[in-house]
Chain A
Amino acid sequence: MKKLTLPLTKEDVLSLHAGDAVSLSGVVLTARDCAHKRIFEYLDRGEKLPFELKNATIYYAGPCPAKPGMASGSCGPTTSARMESFAPRLFDLGLNSTIGKGEMSDEVSASLVRNKAVYFAAVGGAGALYGKNILKSECIAFADLLSEAVHRLEIKDFPVVVAMDAYGESVYKK
């Protein structure tokens, strides 16, 4: 399996094709329904976000609480389709990859092509496996949203599949 370290470079992104199995390590930011709504409120007010989106990777996930002695609780992907109305604007602002599960819209695909970005699918329902591969977790914004807050995760060897690539190809349409 191909191994990549986040943040991805443009060369990394362009080397990926829908259907490739990849192992990801590095830093991701978690954000799901409520966090995206909050991010858009910041953007609409013209305020600076409390974290950097440029070249970042957003993981559509809301973890379980960590047991004592562990960095994170179970933390698999949530359904990405609920975030597809938000994703294009964030890719346009410099986000270069997202991780979730399930197909995203043609508008998202177009924004991946336009921005040379990539959408990975983690395996839904494999939360323990992903949670165990989180080395460090820190809440960096919107703590009041509890499991929906934005967490900065250091991940190691996340097994994912390239779901939708920078060439407009999709594993869901092959």
Chain B
Amino acid sequence: MRTIDTKTIEETLYKMALKAGVSLTESCVAAIENAKTNETCPPCKFALETILENRRVAAENGMPVCQDTGLAVVLMEIGQDICLTGAPLKKSVDEGIRRAYADGYFRKSVCDPLTRVNTGDNTPAVLHTEIVEGDKVTITLLPKGFGSENMSRLYMLTPAKGVKGIIDSVVETVKLAGSRPCPPVYVGVGIGGSFDTCAFLAKKALTREVGTSNPRSDVAEIERECLKRINELKIGAQGFKGDVTALGVSCEIAPTHIAGLPVAVNIQCHCIRMQKEIL
């Protein structure tokens, strides 16, 4: 049986977090470049140009692209033929994140929900694990800013609402968010499952590269229709009333109960700072 010391996972996450904080994914940059080219509203074009200039400054100076370096959300797929050794997995994940946020001069944005006292080191991270086939560990890190996270919603629709209900819920969420989540946004949608897994599916949807489609054609059609209707809202970059409100919509689905149709909408700002590694 293959063994992996959790120290390796800590080191990997440390490097991933340091890189994530100061860079955008290539698919995100391509989508913003495209939005800038097509935008007809002057203040929105100004915002998109500033966003691209910011990316250059961040790279040149090794500075975080956004000061909200986020809550560290980690999705880990662990092959069931692997034996993890060393410190407990969660402890290793938190240690990698803690060190990266200190050494990267990232903002510490995690606090107690009631006292609001900051934990001081950006831990704990959020860790989702899935046990999968094989002997590999796939790690995805998505530092999540809360300007956009705050605008996310969960709907427990009735089955009668159908596809139209799903699309209306997604469009309503983006409309209600308006200028607040730093548009142009990327929209992750979970369809089906239970109350809890639906929200996870929406988060997982955000880990798919911008510009890709769900392999199921009926789901891909929902993605396209949502994107079209979202851009008809004319919220625009930063809410300045332009043409591009969303860079993309990504849906993930799972079977659900005969009585329900859960839909979760997780909003991601234009700063997509995802990193993936396979061990």
With A and B bound together, what is the CA distance between A91 and B61 in angstroms?
Answer: 36
Selecting from A5-13, A41-49, A107-115, A119-127, the interface stretch reads A119-127
In the complex, the answer to whether A74 meets B269 with C-beta atoms within 8 Å is no
Residue of A nearest to B65 (CB): A128
User: Which of B22, B108, B239 is A147 in contact with, Cβ under 8 Å?
Assistant: B108
Q: A64, B107: Cβ atoms under 8 Å?
A: yes
**Contact flags (1/0) for B44-73 with A, using CB distance below 8 Å?**
001100110111011001111111110000
Q: How large is the interface on A (under 10, 10 to 19, 20 to 34, 35 or more residues)?
A: 35 or more
Count, A-B residue pairs, CB within 8 A: 152
Task: Given A79-B150, A103-B239, decide whether A73 and B53 contact each other with a Cβ distance below 8 A.
Answer: no
A33 to chain B, nearest CB (A): 8
* Residue from the list B64, B105, B116 in contact with A34, Cβ < 8 A: B116
Question: Within 8 Å of chain B (Cβ to Cβ): is A135?
Answer: no
Asked if A131 lies at the interface with its beta carbon under 8 angstroms from chain B, I say: yes
Q: Which of B79-87, B89-97, B177-185 contacts A (4 or more CB under 8 A)?
A: B177-185
Given the known A-B contacts A64-B107, A101-B238, A121-B238, are A127 and B120 also in contact in the complex, defined by CB atoms under 8 Å?
no
A29 to chain B, nearest CB (A): 16
Question: Looking at the complex, which one of B42, B108, B181, B240 makes contact with A146 (CB distance below 8 Å)?
Answer: B108
Interface residues of A, dominant DSSP: loop
B182 touches A103 (CB 8 A): no
Closest to B150 in A: A79
Query: Does B105 contact A61, Cβ atoms closer than 8 Å?
Result: no
Against B, the Cβ 8 Å flags (1 = close, 0 = not) of A56-98 are: 0000011111110010011110110100000000000000000
**Residue contact A65 to B58, C-beta cutoff 8 Å:** no
Q: Is residue A53 within 8 Å, beta carbon to beta carbon, of the partner chain? A: no
| B109 proximal to A (CB < 8 A) | yes
Q: Is B147 touching A124 in the complex (CB atoms < 8 A)?
A: yes
Contacts of A174 in B (CB 8 A): 241
Question: Given A78-B147, A125-B182, are A64 and B43 neighbors across the interface (CB < 8 Å)?
Answer: no
Supposing A67-B105, A123-B54 touch, asked if A81 and B180 sit within 8 A by C-beta, the answer is yes
Majority SS at the chain B contact face: loop
Q: Known contacts A73-B107, A124-B238, A125-B270; is A79 also within 8 Å of B180 by CB?
A: yes
User: Known: A125-B51, A161-B46. Contact between A103 and B178, CB under 8 A?
Assistant: yes
List A contacts of B58 (CB < 8 A): 74, 127-129
Q: Are B182 and A124 in contact (CB under 8 A)?
A: yes
Residues of chain B having any CB pair with chain A under 8 Å? 22, 42-43, 46-47, 50-51, 53-55, 57-58, 61-69, 105-109, 116, 118, 120, 147, 150, 178-182, 238-241, 269-271
Q: Which 7 residue pairs spanning A and B have beta carbons closest together?
A: A128-B58, A126-B54, A124-B182, A127-B67, A128-B63, A129-B54, A102-B179
Given contacts A33-B116, A74-B65, A74-B107, 17 further A-B contacts (CB under 8 A): A62-B67, A74-B63, A76-B66, A79-B150, A79-B180, A79-B181, A102-B182, A103-B179, A124-B147, A125-B65, A127-B66, A127-B68, A128-B58, A146-B118, A147-B107, A148-B118, A172-B239
What residues of chain A have their CB less than 8 Å away from a CB belonging to chain B? 19, 21, 33-34, 61-67, 70, 73-76, 78-79, 81, 101-103, 121, 123-129, 131-132, 145-148, 159, 161, 171-172, 174
